[in-house]
Structure 1
Amino acid sequence: MKDSLLWDLSDIATNETFPQLIADTKKRIDKIVTWRKHLSPQMEKKQFVKMLNEIEDLKSVIACIYDYPALKELTDRTDIKAREMKATALDIVIAAEESVRFIDHWLQGKDVVGPEKLNDEQAEVLFSIVPEHKHLLWRSRELALHTLSDVEERIILQKDLQLSEPLLDLRRIIESEQQYKIKLDGEKKTKVIRTQAELSKLTTDANPKNRESAYRVLFKEYEKNLDKYFIIYQAIAKDWSSVANLRGYNEPISMRNRANDLPDELIDLLYSVCSENLGIFHNFFELKANLLKIPKLRRFDLYAPLKDSDKTKYSFAEALDLVIDTFEGFDKDFADKAKRVVAEGHIDSHPSPKKAPGAFCATIHPKITPYVFLNFTGKTRDVFTLAHELGHAVHSLYSSVNPYSGQNPTLPLAETASTFAELLLFDRMMQLVDTETQQKLLMERLADSYATIMRQINFSMFEKEAFALFAKGTNPEDVSSRYYQNLLAHFGDSVDVDQIFSYEWAYIPHFVNSPFYVYAYAFGELLALSLFAMYKDSGEVAVNKLKKILTFGRTAYPIEMLQELDISLQDRDFWMHGFSVINNWQKNVQNIFSHERI
């Protein structure tokens, strides 16, 4: 196998086939519109099935039309042709959504001009014809309680495009114009850094003075523009709250919870369990301070590198072999699905000058094997990223037994296989490496768990408070003060938090891009940890349960799908199992270091 892989997008489309794909899709859209005159509670079964299949086919083709240029552009950001195709794709996406909305509203039981209204009894008859769609069809009717009229929904869509999106663009412009003047320790001249990506590297610098300087110059720029960031955040938050209120949700976060198919009480339980387990990470911070040979960790030191950090290098072939072997040790079918991604040429592995940063897995539709995008440089972290993204791909392949609309799980469940894959790899590597490397792996894993669980939960809890402040009327200083007080409570006596971090809220893009989005990271990580604890306890039984979870996609509510496997998401003890895994890591690393001079 070559050590560097370039993906082949021809399973989605090619530059040559793209124009015809657009033309064919326009015909599909016109065909969907004609179904309006056939809508009736007394529709023939064959007609109803044919209509749903044509809608699903349209959605699958739309995914190809949008994803092909988007993926092309990510591997070459100078590709003008890809940008042109993406603009064309966006127009088609909007047209497709418009064509389906009328039918969606009728299926939801809403009053629409023309056809007879579909009541619950009639809906049950039609929906029972298509068991693979039944959950989502009934979910759509339940969401009708929070759906407005067709005209109102159009207004909200246009408002989002013409008001919310420009506000987000404005924020990006303000952020992109920020420059960071920093004087590094030991250097005479002040350096101008133009990108956050470059500056963020200094927040993990080995020199504590450079770390502090990096954070100070970063948040100083946000302080300078605080009024602007405040106005944008306030506008987005008030808009979100207004729409949530119009749709009849109990509180702003409820709109996100409903989109994630989770009840408010379950998210409250998540907050409570996380708050109860903060002490695990307080101990971790105190240990890290000892390792850094400082009396107490400062927030500036949170991501400081430890001495002799892991410098192991892997070739891509070595990394892939390690990941696949790890999956084989868990389950052959799980591993075979990962191999399929490689065999079909659906991985783009290494960085290049024109390529975008980051890593992700793109699920197109059930008939296409997912694509994995990487920027592999040979570090141990890159091996875990490979396992993570292949885990996503495996998840998609298990859920490909469902129709397009039911393939992708809700956000909180989307990280199940990917995080589980990382945990399998971590467990395997801990068995293969020496004690010194075990120390490094444990410290890195604990740091990652903090960032994914506790940091995100703290963000989410702050969001609720910020929205309450906006509702009453507030100002930038009050928002910053509330954020700072939350940080002090979050870190307790384990970390000193400088006042400059009170402006960090303005730096977090998710607050404005996707309100209340971030708790899903913690939910997914803890769910995977709890399932991993179950796997370590019961072996093959847990393997079969996990694979069953992965096949559901979005064809059942999370609580119901796990109940089928005798797992209760509303049981506090289940979530505590996830923290027991983290607590064991903490104890293991504490034991290792207690036998050494610190």
Structure 2
Amino acid sequence: MTIHLPSPVLDANASGGALGELPEWDLSDLYPSPDAPEISRDLDWLERACADFAASYEGKLATLDAAAMLECVRAYERIEMKAGRIMSYAGLRYYQNTTDAARAKFLSDCQDRITRYTTPLVFFSLEFNRIDDTAYAALFSADPELARYRPVFDRMRAMKPHQLSDELERFLHDMSSVGASAWNKLFDETMAGLEFEVEGETAPLNLESTLNLLTDPDRKRREAAARALALVFGRNIKLFSRIHNTLAKEKEIEDRWRKMPTPQHARHLANHVEPEVVQALRDAVVAAYPRLSHRYYRLKARWMGLDKLQVWDRNAPLPIEQPRMIGWDEARETVMSAYADFSPEIADIARPFFERGWIDAGVKPGKAPGAFAHPTVTDAHPYILLNYLGKPRDVMTLAHELGHGVHQVLAAAQGELLSHTPLTLAETASVFGEMLTFNKLLSQATTPPERKILLAGKVEDMINTVVRQIAFYDFESKLHAARREGELTPDDINALWMSVQTESLGDAFEFMPGYETFWSYVPHFVHSPFYVYAYAFGDGLVNALYAAYEEGLPDFQSKYLDMLRAGGSKHHRELLAPFGLDASDPAFWDKGLSMIARMIDELESME
């Protein structure tokens, strides 16, 4: 049973200023209030529906004909939708203010009740996977409506070699609300409550505002922010080490019981992607470090007149860049016009996000850092969380998350079970939206310095998306492998972090004391182990797609929209075939990496 809960994704961008009126969520499309009778009604319905489902189908799945199985699947889908609506509402309220005890309690209480109610459904996937392969194939070929759902059950059956006894699976389901979920909440609440005393600032800052200072034009302010981050992370490093040790050990135990061959394997199964495809991506990116990140950062050091970059220079604006605050209305117009130029239909889908309270944009005390788009359920609509503070990168974050939202709206027609896209493909529309917005701005550049600033910003974003995320993936791989050998001290984890940072960023950098703790604030490691390679996957995929678009592939827009509408109903091979692309071809990844390299070539030619 899937319980939908948004995970905050850290894309820290921002600054302050007069940004105009920033939108806030209107969650009433889900429920009017946390004490609304509709919530009690739906929880009561869910309890009865789960019990009735188990009574009707447990022990009988192998005996159902196609018509009866279709009825069964649709009943299961209705349960998923109801549970998803409740948990989406509780989760979104919580992420608006993670330090509010009442919101945290409401979320935990909903999660506890839904976990309890859905325990009788654990039999469903286990029993389904015991259906004989011949009978399984015959079942799905007998009814076209049932056949639509086959991708869901093909992915379910990929877990067949790793499923445990019915009793153990029920136990793990019951424990889910006090295992990783509880450690996730501790991490979120700790991060939201941290305060950073930054030299030169009149009051303590939260994490989002402090990270934002790392993009400030004033180098002294950037350094002060970096040192404040290191100081606070260092003070809390034992807690963060405990969280990571516990989660990695819990994962190791479950992986061992499930006979998972590697710590990454469960993520690959969930993403419906072959391990060798991810390995090819990882290897291609690591091999490209010298011609991408190493080369670019040496170039940036020269632009900044420095022998060595410090960590607080990594995302610094260029010396020729004039600081500029971008108001919300301008950001909206920039992104919407880029979307509309590509496809008026996509712009029409995006418009309600701005007009109907589907975006929460402002930075507020206790609000989750970063940005995400949460699809909620297919009979509602997605919601976008931003921490918008007016930097050019914030505009790109808006374009990114709006792409997610458009994708989620288009995929909703597939229904609750088929709409959810594997993480590797979930970044497609978001990164494509960024590319559209970037190229719109680039086409409007009238001077070489404007073009240089835009190209450099895009290269940095792509390095952050590809190089940095693959370095994160390697860090996680090393951490989980080391944890299997025993408890890790904070110094152990710090050393793993620095090994991948040195390799990925290159010799242009000098690392300040304290930077070794910066692994501690990355939420992906806590919420979604090995999630991070999906960003690099998405960027490489989009670069290849965008090249096909620029080359004038016939009917590109309609093919692109069809790909988004497919949601999770097709494998990546099927989705990419209309574009003449194949992610299993090792040369595929070099196409995307070459696009980044060509941008660096152009920047070097401007020297």
Shorter-chain TM-score range = 0.7 to 0.9
Say whether residues 1:484 and 2:484 are aligned partners: no
State how far apart, in whole Å, the 2-side matches of 1:344 and 1:376 are: 18
Q: Are 1:152 and 2:168 an aligned pair? A: yes
Aligned partner of 2:282: which letter? Y
Which residue of the other structure, out of 538, 542, 551, is the alignment partner of 2:556? 542
Cα distance in structure 2, aligned partners of 1:422 and 1:156 = 39
Find 2:534's aligned residue among 520, 529, 532.
520
Counterpart of 2:30 in structure 1 is: 12
- Match of 1:472, SS state, is coil
Contact 1:341/1:369 (<8 A) preserved: no
- The aligned counterpart of 2:481 is 468
Q: Which runs of 5+ in 2 are unaligned?
A: 1-19
How far residue 466 of structure 1 moved from its aligned partner, in angstroms, is 2.6
Change in 2 beyond 3 A, CA 1:349/1:433: same
Give me the whole-angstrom Cα distance separating, in 2, the residues matched to 1:244 and 1:32: 29
Instruction: Establish whether residue 67 from structure 1 lines up as the match of residue 88 from structure 2.
Output: yes
Partner of residue 51 from structure 1, selected from 57, 72, 90: 72
Give yes or no for contact 2:470–2:532 (8 Å, CA) kept in 1: yes
Query: Which deviates the most, 210-219 or 43-52?
Result: 210-219
Structure 1, residues 478-524: CA drift from partner, whole Å, max 9, x if none?
44334323332323322223454333334444334432222222212
Q: Does residue 501 of structure 1 match 2:512?
A: no
- Distance in 1, Cα, partners of 2:104 & 2:180: 22
Q: Alignment partner of 2:306: what SS?
A: coil
Distance of 1:175 and 1:471 partners within structure 2: 27
Structure 1 residues 544 and 8, CA gap change in structure 2 (3 angstroms): same
Paired residue total: 579
- Would the alpha carbon gap of residues 68 and 169 (structure 1) be closer, same or farther in structure 2, given more than 3 Å must change? closer
Query: What pairs with 1:186-205 in structure 2 (closer than 5 Å)?
Result: 193=204, 195-205=206-216
Contact 1:202 1:214 in 2 (8 A): yes
Question: What is the one-letter code of the residue matched to 2:507?
Answer: D
Task: Indicate the structure whose relative CO is greater, using CA pairs within 8 Å and at least 6 residues apart.
Answer: 2
Query: Alpha-carbon deviation of 1:303?
Result: 2.2
Partner residue, 2:158: 142
Q: How far apart are the structure 1 equivalents of 2:443 and 2:204?
A: 42
Among candidates 544, 553, 558, match of residue 530 of structure 1? 544
Q: Could you tell me which residue of structure 1 aligns to residue 274 of structure 2? A: 263
**Letter in structure 1 aligned against 2:127:** W
Greater displacement, 226-235 / 299-308: 226-235
Give the alignment of 1:323-334 within 5 angstroms. 323-334=335-346
Q: Is the 8 A contact 2:248 2:483 kept in 1?
A: yes
State whether structure 2 residue 239 is matched by structure 1 residue 234. Answer: no
Letter aligned with residue 104 of structure 1: S
> 1:310–1:380: 8 Å Cα contact kept in structure 2?
no
Cα distance in 1 for residues equivalent to 2:516 and 2:94: 37
Q: CA deviation at 1:422?
A: 0.9
1:169-180 to 2 correspondence within 5 Å? Answer: none
Deviation at 1:416, TM superposition (A): 0.4
Q: For 1:339 and 1:178, locate their aligned partners in 2 and report how far apart those are by CA, in whole Å.
A: 35
Are 2:557 and 1:557 aligned? Answer: no
Whether the 8 Å CA contact 1:469–1:479 is kept in 2: the answer is no
Q: Partners in 1 of 2:104 and 2:176 — Cα distance?
A: 22
- The 1:512/1:312 distance shift into structure 2, 3 A limit, reads closer
**Structure 1 position 296, deviation (Å):** 2.6
Hey, what's the Cα distance between the residues in 2 that align with 1:231 and 1:161? 18
Q: Is the 8 A contact 1:529 1:581 kept in 2?
A: yes
Superposed, 1:161-560 pairs within 5 Å as 161-168=177-184, 183=199, 193=204, 195-223=206-234, 226=237, 229-278=240-289, 279-307=291-319, 309-342=321-354, 345-350=357-362, 358-435=370-447, 436-473=449-486, 475-476=488-489, 477-560=491-574
- SS of 1:306's equivalent in the other structure is coil
Once the two structures are TM-superposed, the CA of residue 37 in structure 1 deviates from its matched residue by 5.4
Q: d(CA) in 2 for partners of 1:224 and 1:353?
A: 21
* Amino acid aligned to 2:120: S
Counterpart residue type for residue 139 of structure 2: L
* TM-score after normalising by structure 2: 0.85
Q: Which of residues 114, 125, 140 in structure 2 aligns to 1:93?
A: 114
Q: With the length of structure 1 as denominator, give the TM-score of the two structures.
A: 0.86
Larger Rg: 1
Quickly say closer, same or farther: Cα 1:266–1:38, change in 2 above 3 A. closer
Residue type matched to 1:70 in 2?
G
Partner residue in 1 for 2:8: none
Asked if structure 2 preserves the Cα contact closer than 8 Å seen for 1:347 and 1:371, the reply is yes
- How much is the aligned-residue C-alpha RMSD, in angstroms? 3.2
Letter in 2 for 1:140: M
Contact 1:199 1:214 in 2 (8 A): yes
Confirm or deny: 8 A CA contact 2:22 2:361 kept in the other structure. Answer: yes
Bigger mean CA offset, 238-247 vs 31-40: 31-40
Query: Which of 210-219 and 384-393 deviates more?
Result: 210-219
For residues 213 and 352 of structure 1, the distance between their equivalents in structure 2, rounded to whole angstroms, comes to 22
What is the percentage of aligned positions where both structures have the same residue?
26
